[in-house]
Amino acid sequence: MDRPSETQRRELILELCGERGELTVRDAATELEVSEATIRRDFSKLVDKEKDKIKRERGKIVRIGHKTEHEYRLELCPHEKNQIAEIAARFVFPNTAVFFDSGTTIECFVRFLLDSNRLEETITIYTASMPVVNEIMEWCFTHSRRLPLNIIGGSLRYLTQVATGSRGWLCFEKDRKILDIAFIGIAGIDESGFLTQHTGEMESKSEALARAKVNVFLTDSSKFTDETERKRRFEKGKVTFANFKDANYLVVDSEIPDEWRKRLEEEGVTVYTPDISIDDIGLDGLAIGAAKTR
């Protein structure tokens, strides 16, 4: 069977993008049996010609009006994520070093901290998340401020826009607790522990956990209850990156199932939800160096 002509190939690209919402260079090259360089040229020509139908993003084209995976996740549980951010903000203190992990719950948390002016120049920030970096940089430019920001390098995972792997942590001594607090996001939870979708993300999360005095996990309750979303999220596999005992605190919305709350508390995790009075949390006087550690 003859390969399609250039015109036919570009029509097929438009059709595939229209059906799926987005199309990567790699997938298009594989399915149409041409080089990635050829597909990149096709994408450029198509975007110039079909500006009202498609747009170009990193390594792919996207149908206009189609939500990317990242945009889709940002819109999940917005009210719950704001509640989580308000509680988690009580763990942020001057003269500390903090790590912000990847994930849309973490991004909403960082945005809350910036909007409420909770981040200041005495707080040293570490992150491997490009969306977190972008949030902080945009805020700094807008407000003419310079927050101490350290970017952990690694292999970029385009889906979550995070640098993965352990290489970026090699400049830090393995056993040195350089972080006062690590704020960790999760993709899911099961009997094995806290889950992510990618081995590289498992490595970077594990490195952060090993270097923090206090680990605070942030998640909305859909990670416990939404089976449809769980199957969609882990259709390509899952990786356990931490045991329950690795979490000092879990901040989650009020819909966490009672059985999971009880299970985590039995494992020694302190669970905070919005139905607990802010005054009852008692974090204002928290001394980071003397906080609960394992």
pLDDT digits (tens, 9 = 90+) for 48-106: 888 888 889 888 988 887 566 666 666 666 788 889 999 999 899 999 999 999 989 99
Please report which confidence band the pLDDT of residue 272 belongs to, taking 50, 70 and 90 as the band edges: very high
- What integer is the mean pLDDT of 121-133? 95
Partners of residue 131 on adjacent β-strands: none
- What integer is the mean pLDDT of 265-292? 65
Residue 21 Rama label (left phi>0; alpha psi -120 to 50; beta): left
Is residue 280 over pLDDT 90?
Answer: no
Amino acid identity at 76? L
Burial of 156 (0-12, 13-18, 19+ CB in 10 A): middle
What is the pLDDT at residue 278? 55
Domain boundaries, the chain: 6-66, 73-290
Q: What is the pTM of this model?
A: 0.74
How many residues are present in the chain?
Answer: 294
What is the pLDDT at residue 285? 39
What is the pLDDT at residue 153? 92
Amino acid identity at 239? V
- Residue 31's CB: how many other CB atoms inside 10 A? 13
Least reliable range by pLDDT among 16-20, 25-29, 171-175, 235-239: 171-175
What is the pLDDT at residue 64? 81
Pick the CATH number of 6-66 from 3.40.50.300, 3.40.190.10, 1.10.10.10, 3.30.499.10: 1.10.10.10
Q: 239 Cβ partners below 8 Å, 6+ apart?
A: 195, 196, 197, 198, 199, 201, 202
Is residue 287 over pLDDT 50?
Answer: no
Is residue 202 over pLDDT 60?
Answer: yes
Query: Could you tell me which of 136, 139, 138 has the C-alpha nearest to residue 151?
Result: 136
What is the pLDDT at residue 4? 80
Question: What's the CATH class of domain 73-290?
Answer: alpha beta
Phi/psi of residue 240, each to 5°? Answer: -85, 120
Is residue 191 over pLDDT 50?
Answer: yes
pLDDT digits (tens, 9 = 90+) for 144-166: 999 999 999 999 887 788 999 98
What is the pLDDT at residue 277? 57
Query: Could you tell me which of 21, 79, 98, 96 has the C-alpha nearest to residue 54?
Result: 21
Is residue 293 over pLDDT 60?
Answer: no
More confident residue, 216 or 157: 216
Q: If you average pLDDT over every residue of the chain, what do you get?
A: 85
What is the pLDDT at residue 251? 95
More confident residue, 64 or 262: 262
Same fold, 6-66 and 73-290: no
- What integer is the mean pLDDT of 26-31? 91
How far, in Å, are 119, 134, 153, 246 from residue 162 at the CA level? 21, 12, 9, 22
Classify strands 212-218 and 179-185 as parallel, antiparallel or unpaired. Answer: parallel
Please report which confidence band the pLDDT of residue 13 belongs to, taking 50, 70 and 90 as the band edges: very high
- What integer is the mean pLDDT of 114-143? 94
What is the pLDDT at residue 39? 94
What is the pLDDT at residue 288? 43
**Cβ distance 94 to 120 under 8 Å?**
yes
Reported in sequence order, the residue ranges of the chain that DSSP labels E, i.e. its strands, are 22-24, 54-57, 60-63, 97-100, 124-127, 149-151, 155-157, 162-164, 179-185, 188-190, 193-196, 212-218, 239-242, 249-251, 270-272
- What integer is the mean pLDDT of 203-232? 86
- Residue 72's CB: how many other CB atoms inside 10 A? 12
More confident residue, 291 or 57: 57
